[in-house]
Structure 1
Amino acid sequence: MKAFGKILGLVLLGLLLIIVALGFALTHLFDPNDYKDEIRQIARDKAHIELTLNGDIGWSLFPWLGLELHEASVATLVKPAEPFADLQMLGLSVRVLPLLRREVQMSDVRVEGLNLRLNRDKDGHGNWEDIGKVPAPADAANPEPTVAAGEPAPQTPPVAEKPPQPIRLDIDSLTVNNARVEYNDEKTGKIYTAESIQMSTGAVHDSTNIPLKLTAFLSSNQPAVRVRTELNGELRIARALQRYQFEDMKLSGEVTGDPLQGKTMTFAAQGQLLLDKAANVAEWTGIKISANQLRALGELKVNDLDKTPQINGGLSIAQFDLAKFVDSIGQKLPAMAEGSLSKVELVSRVAGTPNSLSFDNINLKVDDSSFSGRIAIEDFAKQSLRAILKADTFNVDRYLPPKSAEANSATQVRQAEVANTEATAMAGAGSTPLPDSPTKGAWSTERLLPIERLAKLDVDADLTFGQLTLDKLPIQNAALKATGQGGLLTLENLRGDLYNGNFEAKGTLDVRQPVPALSMQTRINRVPAEKILESQGKNPPVKGLVTLDSTLTGSGNSQRALIESLNGNASFVINNGVLLNANLEQQLCKGIATLNRKSLSGEPRGKDTPFQELKGNLTFRNGVASNPDLKVRIPGMTVNGNGDVDLRVLGMDYRVGIVVEGDTSAMPDPACQVGDKFVGIEWPLRCRGPLELGAKACRLDNERMGQVAAKLAGDKLSDKIDEKLGDKVSPELKNALKGLFKR
Structure 2
Amino acid sequence: MKAFGKILGLGLLGLLLIIVALGFALTHLFDPNDYKDEIRQLAREKAHVELTLNGDIGWSLFPWLGLELHEASIATLNNPKVPFADLQMLGLSVRVLPLLRREVQMSDVRVEGLNLTLTRDANGHGNWEDIGKPLPEPSVAGNPASSPAEAPGSAPAPAQAQTSERSVKLDIDSLTVNNARVLYTDEKAGQSYGAESIQLSTGPVHEGANIPLKASAFLSASQPNLKARTELTGELRFDRKLKRYNLEDMRLSGETSGEPLAGKTLTFVAQGQVLVDLGANVASWSGLKVSANQLRALGELNLRDLDKAPQVSGGLSIAQFDLRTFLDGIGHPLPATADPAVFKKLELVTRLEGSPNSLALEDLAVKLDDSTFSGRVAVEDFAKQALRIRLKGDTFNADRYLPAKSEQAKGASAARQAEVKQQEATAVAGAGSTPLPNAPTQVAWSTDKLLPVDRLRALDLQADLGFGALTLDKLPISDAQLNASGQGGLLTLQTLRGSLYNGTFEAKGTVDVRPAVPQLGINTKINRVPVEHFIKGESPDQQPPVKGLLTLNSDLTATGNSQKALVDTLNGNASFSINDGVLVNANLEQQLCQAIATLNRKQLSGEPRGKDTPFQELRGSLVIRNGVASNPDLKARIPGLTVNGHGDLDLRVLGMDYNVGVVVEGDQRAMPDPACQVNERYVGVEVPLRCRGPLELGAKACRLDQDGLGKVAAKLAGNRLKDKIDQKLEEKLGDKVSPELKDALKGLFKR
Whether TM exceeds 0.5 here: the answer is yes
Specify the SS of the correspondent of 1:416.
helix
Counterpart in the other structure of 1:549: 553
Residue in 2 that maps onto 1:500: 502
What's the counterpart of residue 701 of structure 1?
A: 705
1:414 alignment partner, SS class: helix
Change (3 A) 1:543 1:306: same
Counterpart Cα distance in 2 of 1:327 and 1:103 = 56
Q: Give the match's secondary structure for 2:515.
A: coil
Unaligned runs of 5+ in 2: none
Contact (CA 8 Å) 2:430, 2:587: kept in 1 or not?
no
Q: Does 1:585 align with 2:589?
A: yes
Matched residues in 1 for 2:151 and 2:22: separation?
A: 55
Secondary structure at the aligned position of 2:302 is classed as strand
* Corresponding residue number in structure 1 for 2:160: 161
Greater shift in the superposed pair: 63-72 or 470-479: 470-479
Which residue, out of 647, 653, 669, partners 2:651?
647
Q: Distance in 2 between matches of 1:399 and 1:554?
A: 24
Q: Find the aligned partners of 2:387 and 2:146 in 1 and give their Cα distance.
A: 61
Change (3 A) 1:98 1:434: same
**Aligned residue pairs: how many?**
740
Check whether the contact 2:138–2:145 (CA below 8 A) recurs between aligned residues: no
**Where does residue 304 of structure 2 map in the other structure?**
303
Amino acid at match of 1:685: L
- One-letter amino acid of the structure 2 residue matched with residue 442 of structure 1: A
2:411 to 409, 412, 423: 409
**Per-residue deviation, 1:672:** 1.5
Give the aligned partner of residue 207 of structure 1: 208
| Aligned residue number for residue 595 of structure 1 | 599
Q: Does 1:28 align with 2:28?
A: yes
Alpha-carbon separation, structure 2, partners of 1:739 and 1:125:
110
Match of 1:41 in 2: 41
Letter in structure 1 aligned against 2:499? D
Q: After the TM superposition, which residues 302-381 of structure 1 pair with which residues of structure 2 at under 5 Å, given as runs?
A: 302-336=303-337, 337-381=339-383
Q: Is the 8 A contact 2:430 2:611 kept in 1?
A: no
Once residues 216 and 142 of structure 2 are traced to their aligned partners in structure 1, the CA distance between those partners, rounded to angstroms, is 53
* Structure 2 partner of 1:70: 70
Q: Within 1, Cα distance between the matches of 2:383 and 2:518? A: 25
**Secondary structure of the equivalent of 1:612?**
strand
Structure 2 CA distance for aligned equivalents of residues 684 and 103 of structure 1 = 113
- Which of the numbers 507, 519, 522 marks the counterpart of 1:520? 522
Answer whether contact 1:610 1:634 (CA < 8 A) is retained: yes
Which amino acid counterpart does residue 529 of structure 1 have in structure 2?
V
8 Å Cα contact 2:537/2:543 also seen in 1: no
SS at match of 2:98: helix
1:628 counterpart (620, 628, 632): 632
Q: Which shows bigger deviation, 597-606 or 25-34?
A: 597-606
Contact conserved, 2:419 with 2:442, CA < 8 A, in 1?
no
Partner of 1:665, secondary structure, is coil
AA aligned to 2:288 is I
Q: What is the CA RMSD across the aligned residues, in angstroms?
A: 2.3
Bigger drift between 121-130 and 55-64 goes to 121-130
After TM superposition, the structure 1 = structure 2 runs for residues 695-734 of structure 1, keeping only pairs within 5 Å, are 695-726=699-730, 727=733
- 1:235 alignment counterpart: 236
- Distance change in 2, residues 1:454/1:210 (3 Å): same
Deviations 1:616-653 (A, max 9, x none): 11121222211111111111111111111111221111
**C-alpha spacing 1:169/1:675, structure 2 compared with 1 (3 Å):** same
* 1:289 matched to 2:268: no
Which letter maps to 1:353? S
Once the 2 structures are TM-superposed, how far is the Cα of residue 697 of structure 1 from its aligned partner? 1.3
Unaligned 5+ residue runs, structure 1? none
Q: How far apart are residue 270 of structure 1 and its match? A: 0.7
Deviations 1:644-693 (A, max 9, x none): 11112211111111111221011222112111111111111111222221
Residue 438 (structure 1) aligns with: 440
Aligned to 1:453, the other structure's residue is in SS state: helix
Q: What amino acid is the match of 1:85? A: A
Structure 2 distance, partners of 1:174, 1:189, is 35
For residue 290 of structure 1, report the CA deviation from its aligned partner: 0.8
Contact 2:726 2:746 in 1 (8 A): no
Tell me which moved more, 266-275 or 714-723. 714-723
Whether the aligned pair in 1 keeps the contact of 2:589 and 2:613 (CA below 8 Å) is yes
Shift of the alpha carbon at 1:137? Answer: 5.3
Residue of structure 2 equivalent to 1:182: 183
Q: CA deviation at 1:427?
A: 6.5
1:473 touches 1:535 (CA, 8 Å); kept in 2?
no
In structure 1, C-alpha distance between the alignment counterparts of 2:227 and 2:36, rounded to whole Å? 40
Aligned-residue offset at 1:438? 2.2
SS in 1 for 2:384: coil
% identical aligned pairs: 70
| Superposed displacement of residue 450, structure 1 | 1.2
Per the TM alignment, residue 562 of structure 1 is displaced from its structure 2 partner at its CA by: 1.3
Are the aligned partners of 2:551 and 2:578 in contact in 1 as well (CA < 8 Å)?
yes
Contact kept, 8 Å, 1:350 with 1:359, in 2: the verdict is yes
Is residue 695 of structure 2 the alignment partner of residue 691 of structure 1?
Answer: yes
Match of 1:602, SS state, is coil
Deviation at residue 341 of structure 1 after TM alignment: 1.8
Does structure 2 conserve the Cα–Cα contact (< 8 Å) formed by 1:545 and 1:576?
yes
1:604 aligns with 2:608: yes
Query: Secondary structure of 1:429's match?
Result: coil
1:229-251 CA-partner distances (Å, limit 9, x unpaired): 11111101100011111011111
- The verdict on how the C-alpha distance between 1:29 and 1:742 changes in structure 2, with shifts beyond 3 A counting, is farther
| 8 Å Cα contact 1:710-1:742 kept in structure 2 | no
In structure 1, C-alpha distance between the alignment counterparts of 2:269 and 2:145, rounded to whole Å: 62
The answer to which of 199-208 and 261-270 deviates more is: 261-270
Q: What is the rounded CA distance, in whole Å, between the counterparts of 2:747 and 2:428 in structure 1?
A: 42
Deviations 1:526-577 (A, max 9, x none): 1111123337546411011111111111112221221122122111111111
Partner of 1:255: 256
- The CA distance in 1 between the partners of 2:41 and 2:190, in whole Å, is 36
682-691 or 54-63, which deviates more: 682-691
TM-score (norm 1): 0.95
Give the Å deviation of 1:164: 5.0
- Which range moved further: 532-541 or 273-282? 532-541
How many Å apart are 1:500 and its aligned residue? 1.8
- Equivalent pair of 1:566/1:623 in contact (CA under 8 Å): yes
Aligned to 1:86: 86
- Match for 2:386: what amino acid? S
**Aligned-pair CA distance for 1:343:** 1.7
- Partners of 1:390 and 1:463 within 8 A in 2: yes
Q: State the distance in 1 between where 2:304 and 2:501 align.
A: 52
Distance (whole Å) between structure 2 residues aligned to residue 275 and residue 569 of structure 1: 66
Aligned to 2:133, the other structure's residue is in SS state coil
- Worse-matched range after superposition: 558-567 or 294-303: 558-567
Q: CA deviation at 1:596?
A: 0.9
Question: How far apart are 1:122 and its partner, in Å?
Answer: 3.2
Residue 217 and residue 549 in structure 1: after superposition, are their counterparts in 2 closer, same or farther (change >3 A)?
same
Q: Distance in 1 between matches of 2:410 and 2:327?
A: 28
Does residue 565 of the first structure (1) align with residue 564 of the second (2)?
A: no
Amino acid at match of 1:229: T
Instruction: Classify the secondary structure of the residue corresponding to 2:104.
Output: coil
Counterpart AA for 1:530:
E
SS of the residue 1:724 aligns to: helix
> Aligned match of 1:461 in 463, 471, 491?
463
* Separation in 2, partners of 1:5, 1:263: 80
Name the SS for the 2:536 alignment partner. Answer: helix
